[in-house]
Amino acid sequence: MGYFYIFGTIFFTVYGQLVLKWRIGKFGSLPEGWKEKLIFLLQLLFDPLIFSGFISAFIASLFWMAAMTKFNISYAYPFMSLSFVLVFLLSVFLFQEPVTVHKVVGLSLIVIGIIVTSQSL
C-alpha cells in the first residue's frame, strides 16, 4: 500500500504542474504594473482549473503524509523524481516543448538514481 501512496503523490503533483502550465499559458504574461499583477493573479486564482491544480497539490500532500508512515524519507523521496520525468514527457506531447540531449541525459541519470536508491530497502 505504501507504493500506492507514493504513486498518488506523484500523480497529483504531475497533474497540478501540467494544469497550471496549460491554464496560465491561456492567460498570457504577467503584466508590468503591481496593480495589474494583482488583478492578473486574482483572475488566475479564481480559474476553476487552476484552482484544481492547487487542490491537487493539497491531495498530493495527503498522499505524501500517508507514504511517510510506510517508508523512510531517504527511501521514498527519490521516487518523487519520477514527477520530473513524467512532467518532461507529458510536456513534450501536450505543449510541444523541445527534447534536448541534455534533458534526456539528465532524466536518465534521475531514473538510474531511483533504481539504485530503490535497491536500498
pTM of the model: 0.85
Distance, CA of 85 to chain centre: 10
Question: Does residue 28 register a pLDDT over 90?
Answer: no
pLDDT over 90, % of the chain = 71
Mean of per-residue pLDDT scores for the chain:
92
Using CB atoms within 10 Å of the CB of residue 29, give its burial: 0 to 12 exposed, 13 to 18 middle, 19+ buried.
exposed
Cα 31 from Cα 54, distance rounded (Å): 22
Q: What is the mean pLDDT of residues 32-46?
A: 93
- The count of structural domains within the chain is 1
State how far the Cα of 65 lies from the Cα of 110, in Å rounded to an integer: 23
Supply angle C-alpha 25, 31, 36, rounded to 5: 120
pLDDT of residue 120: 67
121 has a pLDDT exceeding 80: no
- What range does the domain containing 52 cover? 2-118
